[in-house]
Structure 1
């Protein structure tokens, strides 16, 4: 007889073939239609608040894998916090001003169409276009947020808040104008912040130069006539701006004779200098202090200078003497300020020498062209001692990729030193994850000098300064606050669209003033987000900032400095950093030419596998990515989906309202697995709580593949398929499977929100899974003896599987159900034989209590049941109408009325 239709085989409409590129957009549309994000906030309205503040991505292109990493991490935090019962809103933001957008727009504008208002209008349109593209991509990634009401740094209300913060800094005396060296981008013709500078290898000419001492200095110090200081520099182009020489007063120096020349050099360096390796020392100076005040003649110009002390001169490189150009280096500038030296900087905005350099041969040349010309002039003067190529890391403009020129330009600054100690104290009050990040931010803030905040651009928030006829500045806090009220209504275009006389009158200023044309550094824009977004919503300080590790020099730091300067406290309680997405050769993928847009991945894979990749990686370090890695993750995704499908398929006839069994009535196997589920819930929820998403990912995937699919479901098949539909053991198993489905789907929801939602619906749920809470974190009910008993069972199962495999290879049995296993063990009794047979998936187990564990496999006696395929010696004894069925199957077929 054919008993196939009597077996309760699994069935489900939840497909194994995910077809995510097709299915996910349908769910996304449903979420939009039902306003799911607002529903979540309403459901959590009474919960404790958790605020993750979004660091605004730049609105200048399609989103890439770096965005996917960061945005998914934020979503993992917020979805898991919401499922813990927190009210965790997400207000996304975009950084809209700045050089990259303006440079792109300028490239497409004709020279006669580059007035500030036209540039700004084009830049705004450009930013808004890419905000629309990125918003669609982030939403497609499954990110829940207030997408219809984001914050944008170009919005009038936001710009007004930035100006109000700036007014407070002005009122505190923290903003000043000064002529000092800054990072200058010749490619973009603007000053740069430190965070906008990147270091790249560059080869420059390194030269040793003779600086002749004045005759009277030689006589005063009893030095031979024509004694020279030997200077080393890797920037020959700065020599026209030389105004002094520095030495270290604590180093020892010597006067060395090389041929007919006498040269002063640091003792620690003489053996490294060409031509001086074997030169005799004719006079030793125990400390550089003995040489202070020496006067020298500039090697190329009719200018004299003095030797000053400086601790930044070391015996690690160079000659022990450093040429000082106060207009071209911060250390040089500070030394110059100490001794009354002006910041001479004879270089224009394009990096070309002006007439002020004093050398007609250089005027009009770029500083890089000037290097070779200056070297030739030194050779002609007979003062070039040595020259060689020098490879070093040199600062470059992050946007134009051109090398930076350090030059003195009149700029606006924030006096960081005034609140730097408090900023460092606030760093120690913040939790930094990973902990090593604390040292990184401390180092960045400790080394921070005054912040150059002015930019020579049109696309940004204007610095609200006016200038009198004599060039003096009018920068007043109350005037800025009046302007902020105008900006809140009309945006910062009002600064450019209103003529100077009218604007001055509206702001209560006298006539005859000239408007400033500089804009604020964009790090002021984004760094003010705590004031423009968090404070007005009552969310300051935020619970969490989460961005890439480069933001210790960028947004983390600018936000900290502005918040401390204004309010004396950090804008965040915890800062979590992620690494960069790298290819397998260690190159940053976001920087690669032709980096793939997120949309490409959605078309090929859907969003959930990409999110699962993020959850699986140790994101606190750089994250590797390749097609092979994503293919492996896709395999894991299929494993999870298959586990979900198995659960759903085995619940096809289970009604949670009518069929549940109390856990006290569960068979032992199910009680054990109920505890395993409780342990999983505790592990995963705690991992989410600690932002340890890889731990949550691995715990979930391991449970689904090993404990659920490879063990529990495998063992249950006989019970689920062959027991009576209403049998207690079968319904107990389904009760637990239903609990597992509810738990696993919810635990997976932050990682794979689309798939979890689809599975939740297939479970018969009406509302969204994202409105649910995580399962409660319960303590396992089994005591220690129970736990140890199951450790022994699983150890025995492993040994039995090895023995079964050996019997299969020896052709003694085929399938495991053909076997009877004899177990010699001190841990079990004959009363355990039924449980062990079920767990071992064999027809029969005989337990022999003995001290030493041993396993013996033989063919099971009797015949094979035609329905359950187990071997039995009682076939046909229960019901003569079914001579090929075991007792259990005969009873099921007879009582259910099903027959072949």
Structure 2
């Protein structure tokens, strides 16, 4: 008789296969999701549920997605799927950032290479086509990651309706008096030929500048007239090319300044007293002495001679002057620095146009006109040296601002730009930051410091691909029109024709017939040619998508403002979080988010930035093709997202191993219930209650696990959730519970109460585990859910369940049991080599009183401890089992007896004899 055929072994076809083959499985699952419109199905199932809104920060549409984009989208999907399964309706309107310089540059290069028109309407048309291509590419790639969303109606900042709302947002700020056009020094890219905002700047270490110490001769007055020698104020600067633009020297009103005499020098030097020793060492002064002192305020209004041009350079006072480095006297060029500019405004200084948009010095700089600013460093140094006013020139390595878009240095340059005034709303913004929940908490201090210190926002760009700044000017006066009627006329046009309408149509075609300038009475107008900063586009998304909800499909999502959550990389403290806060506060009076989660950047496994040069770039699409999206998602869940996130082959292989552990546990559980011969444990009908003590215990353990996982999801602690699930799967299930109940499941009669109890527990755990894992490994969860007999998607399920009532005594008993099992396993590993035994089921264990297991039958104790039998004794020990091995269940027990089956003698336990009826 083939006893194997009498066992209740799992049917391989009733469960998920051991080998997942995710690269093939996942597209098939996604096709089912698309066919059944699972996103809409979830929306219907949650139509009466509370709403949780995660507002999507739009990725830039200039390329396929990279691993950082994939991490961000997967983390968002964890949030949305977990909130959905926690009983919320969590809509997701994905977004795309579609204007700006990188797209314009890429498209211009392509058009130039093709030798076709690359300006105006032709350029904008090509940019629109370029963006449409990459919206399609990225959408396909995001779906491949398993991300659910309203992909048929995402938001894209180039949509006509969206552009119109951006125009209206500018208009709302203008109505409040928060926009203005002014001459200000802005960070300017000579290579890109446009102004840049702080959000478009990165500071690079290791930049080398030429630092110089320069003498400015004082026009002596008052107490200084008694000195026969000339007096020179010394300044230090790392931008020699700005010396031609110098108009002032800044002193600190509270500092003491020293007149220093140096043997062998033909004049006295004026520097901050606190810096004399440091400066003397730097300049090689020997035998120097201080001959007089004066407080900084004494120099206000005094004049000094420009070392090259001989014109007056006025003494001014400024609080930003420090006595930590330099000389305590700051070279001030109002055209080339924010502090310089505002100091110049205070003292009525000119703001000359000394550098053009290419970074070339203009005619006002005299002999330096026509020189590129960086080349001018050398010319200025040489001229100062020739004139005798250069005290020292040396290389200086420091952090310097670069344009993020092209990686080239930027300069400060005074130009006419459009600004959003920050000061009127700054206190409210700082207050709003304090009301937001920040994950991690350090994010609050980071953005708060940025908002407290940021200058007015320069929102104009000298580019073509973007939303035009909706401002007209009086043709004669040049006075801007910031009238709501005029701006709404622009918005209405853009709504019909897009931004092309603004660029292509004349003021007469746009403005209402007979429109009159509200300030000057003019009837003829010109238009602004600059475009809005793309950060104004993305900063407006909360207003357009969540507040205005310009499309019916968005209204159907039941979105609300403010969002419950923003989730982006940590660089967005200075970017999207910042600009969204500015526009949300200015338009709606509050922050546009209730909570903000920030994650780190993806690096290689050595913590290095990924680059093609290093050959360490991880392509998420390739990972999906090789390992599967679910493995990539396990990686995303396993990392500590608050910090920079390593990724590479080794890390992905570890994620694959964790995935296989989870899959194998699910495979066993589903195999048990999928192969069930007991109708009472199937999907239909009343659920069977697990009654065996160990089954009740494991369900209590699972209920506690579920509570911990849901808490982790609620805290966005996806790594905690995954670790809890993996640990429970490995330790509680695979290494203990499933190991213990296999005998019951395989060998008991199909309808025996003990077996049915185990099946019931396995079904509850299988379904619960699939649900808890679904946010992390959605494709595998859907596959497993179908194998469990369900015809609808797992994502309409709610991650909750009844908490089993378990007595503390039972929990204590199992705590003792697990301690005893661990002690027995450790002792057996040390003992087995002495007897040549490998299997603990071949031995009888002697348990001392402190390891005794009470409350169970001897058979159960033997099963729990995975031994042939257990006896009481004085100390822990082992001996070979004298009992015969059961031919069916492969265990050695005292009740094993020889019986005859089909003329053959067979050793069977009492249980196995009863099942076979012999």
Which TM bucket (shorter chain)? Answer: over 0.9
- Decide which moves more: 291-300 or 73-82: 291-300
User: Take 1:705 and 1:136, find their aligned partners in 2: how far apart are those partners?
Assistant: 35
Correspondence 1:645 to 2:667: yes
User: Take 2:662 and 2:524, find their aligned partners in 1: how far apart are those partners?
Assistant: 72
Matches within 5 A, 1:617-656: 617-654=639-676
Q: Which residue does the alignment assign to 1:771?
A: 796
- Partner of 2:455, secondary structure, is coil
- Decide which moves more: 539-548 or 781-790: 781-790
User: Take 2:611 and 2:590, find their aligned partners in 1: how far apart are those partners?
Assistant: 33
User: Take 1:241 and 1:887, find their aligned partners in 2: how far apart are those partners?
Assistant: 103
Deviation readout 1:476-513 (Å, 9 max, x if unpaired)? 22200121112112211101121344334558355532
Correspondence 1:142 to 2:143: no
Kept after mapping to 1: 8 A contact 2:11/2:671: yes
User: Take 1:685 and 1:843, find their aligned partners in 2: how far apart are those partners?
Assistant: 40
Q: Find the partner of 1:799 among 823, 834, 847.
A: 823
- Decide which moves more: 330-339 or 507-516: 507-516
Q: Which residue does the alignment assign to 1:427?
A: 433
Q: CA deviation at 1:886?
A: 2.0
Matches within 5 A, 1:668-817: 668-776=693-801, 778-811=802-835, 813-817=837-841
Cα 1:814–1:400 shift into 2, 3 Å: closer
Q: Find the partner of 1:547 among 549, 568, 571.
A: 568
Correspondence 1:133 to 2:137: yes
- Partner of 2:187, secondary structure, is strand
User: Take 1:536 and 1:397, find their aligned partners in 2: how far apart are those partners?
Assistant: 33
Q: Find the partner of 1:528 among 540, 544, 549.
A: 540
- Decide which moves more: 316-325 or 217-226: 217-226
Kept after mapping to 2: 8 A contact 1:296/1:304: yes
User: Take 1:793 and 1:121, find their aligned partners in 2: how far apart are those partners?
Assistant: 73
- Partner of 2:567, secondary structure, is strand
Kept after mapping to 2: 8 A contact 1:65/1:589: no
Kept after mapping to 2: 8 A contact 1:257/1:282: yes
User: Take 2:913 and 2:823, find their aligned partners in 1: how far apart are those partners?
Assistant: 33
User: Take 2:287 and 2:39, find their aligned partners in 1: how far apart are those partners?
Assistant: 79
Deviation readout 1:256-310 (Å, 9 max, x if unpaired)? 1222331111122122223354342242325222333331110001311221111
Q: CA deviation at 1:664?
A: 6.6
Q: What is the count of residue pairs matched by the alignment?
A: 887
Q: Which residue does the alignment assign to 1:898?
A: none
Correspondence 1:823 to 2:829: no
Q: CA deviation at 1:883?
A: 4.1
User: Take 1:139 and 1:874, find their aligned partners in 2: how far apart are those partners?
Assistant: 59
- Partner of 2:396, secondary structure, is strand
Q: Which residue does the alignment assign to 1:291?
A: 299
User: Take 2:44 and 2:225, find their aligned partners in 1: how far apart are those partners?
Assistant: 84
Q: CA deviation at 1:472?
A: 2.8
Q: CA deviation at 1:218?
A: 7.3
Q: CA deviation at 1:252?
A: 1.8
Deviation readout 1:596-646 (Å, 9 max, x if unpaired)? 442211211110000111111111111111110001100111111111111
User: Take 1:220 and 1:616, find their aligned partners in 2: how far apart are those partners?
Assistant: 70
Correspondence 1:306 to 2:318: no
Q: Find the partner of 2:586 among 538, 561, 565.
A: 565
Q: Which residue does the alignment assign to 2:525?
A: 513
- Partner of 2:907, secondary structure, is coil
Matches within 5 A, 1:226-245: 226-245=230-249
Q: Find the partner of 1:884 among 900, 907, 917.
A: 907
User: Take 1:763 and 1:553, find their aligned partners in 2: how far apart are those partners?
Assistant: 48
Kept after mapping to 1: 8 A contact 2:336/2:412: yes
User: Take 1:617 and 1:151, find their aligned partners in 2: how far apart are those partners?
Assistant: 30
Correspondence 1:481 to 2:513: no
Cα 1:183–1:710 shift into 2, 3 Å: same
Matches within 5 A, 1:149-548: 149-200=153-204, 201-214=206-219, 216-217=220-221, 220-258=224-262, 259=264, 260-273=266-279, 274-275=282-283, 277-285=285-293, 287-358=295-366, 360=367, 362-467=368-473, 468-504=475-511, 508-509=515-516, 511-537=523-549, 539-548=560-569
Deviation readout 1:365-422 (Å, 9 max, x if unpaired)? 1110000000000011011001111000000011121111100000011111111111
Cα 1:299–1:637 shift into 2, 3 Å: same
- Partner of 2:400, secondary structure, is strand
Cα 1:421–1:600 shift into 2, 3 Å: same
Kept after mapping to 2: 8 A contact 1:72/1:614: yes
User: Take 1:66 and 1:754, find their aligned partners in 2: how far apart are those partners?
Assistant: 21
Q: Find the partner of 1:577 among 598, 607, 612.
A: 598
Q: CA deviation at 1:830?
A: 8.2
What's the Cα RMSD here? 2.0
- Decide which moves more: 828-837 or 123-132: 828-837
User: Take 1:194 and 1:726, find their aligned partners in 2: how far apart are those partners?
Assistant: 71
User: Take 2:602 and 2:513, find their aligned partners in 1: how far apart are those partners?
Assistant: 50
Kept after mapping to 2: 8 A contact 1:64/1:590: no
- Partner of 1:400, secondary structure, is coil
User: Take 2:845 and 2:635, find their aligned partners in 1: how far apart are those partners?
Assistant: 43
Kept after mapping to 2: 8 A contact 1:837/1:844: yes
Q: Which residue does the alignment assign to 1:610?
A: 632
User: Take 1:766 and 1:659, find their aligned partners in 2: how far apart are those partners?
Assistant: 17
User: Take 1:415 and 1:872, find their aligned partners in 2: how far apart are those partners?
Assistant: 85
- Partner of 2:203, secondary structure, is strand
- Partner of 2:136, secondary structure, is helix
User: Take 1:251 and 1:740, find their aligned partners in 2: how far apart are those partners?
Assistant: 73
Cα 1:581–1:370 shift into 2, 3 Å: same
Cα 1:578–1:498 shift into 2, 3 Å: same
Q: Is there any run of 5+ residues in structure 2 with no aligned partner, and where?
A: 517-521, 550-558
